[in-house]
Amino acid sequence: MKQLSIFIVALFLALSLNTTSMAGFFSAEALATAETFITTIDSGDLQQAYFDSSELLKLRNSEQEWVTEQELIFKLLGTVQERQLMTVRARDSYPGLPDGNYLVVSYECRTQHKAKAIELLLLIEQGEEWRVCEYSIR
C-alpha cells in the first residue's frame, strides 16, 4: 500500500510538472514579468506596457496600432475586476514565431462587461530576461 501511495504521489508530481513546464523549469522572474505587465495594463499605461514588451511584439505591431487595439478591447470588455492564474506552460516553439524559450501564462478573469474571460500572455526569454511578446484577453 505504501508503494502505491508513493507511486500516486510521484505520478501526480510528474503530471504537475508537465502541466506547468513542458520545455523545462521557468523562473519566478518570468511570472513576475507577466504580473508586472498586467499591472501596467490595469493601470491604463498601455504605452509603458508596449515599451516593456519584447522586440517580437514591437516587430509585429507599431505602438499606435497596439495601443489602439488594446483600447478597443477594453471599451468592449471593460477593465479586469478579478483574475486568477490558471496555467503556465513552457514551450520551445510557438506558431508564427521563431524557436525560443517561451512561457504561455493564462489567467481566468472577470471584466466589467464579461463574467468569464481568458487573459493570455506569451513571454519569451531574451538573454537573462523574460519579455511579453503577445497579450490578449477574450
SS (H, E, C) the chain: CHHHHHHHHHHHHHHHHHHHCCCCCCCHHHHHHHHHHHHHHHCCCHHHHHHHCCHHHHHHCCHHHHHHHHHHHHHHHCCEEEEEEEEEEEECCECCECCCCEEEEEEEEEECCCCCEEEEEEEEEECCEEEEEEEEEC
Q: Tens-digit pLDDT profile for the chain (138 aa)?
A: 544 343 333 334 344 444 444 434 567 899 999 999 999 999 999 999 999 999 999 999 999 999 999 999 999 999 999 999 999 999 999 999 999 999 999 999 999 999 999 999 999 999 889 999 999 999
Note the pLDDT of residue 113: 97
**Overall domain count for the chain:** 1
Give the rounded percent of residues in the chain with a pLDDT score beyond 90.
Answer: 78
Where residue 112 sits, what CATH number does that domain have? 3.10.450.100
Note the pLDDT of residue 12: 40
Domain that holds residue 7: 2-137
Note the pLDDT of residue 116: 98
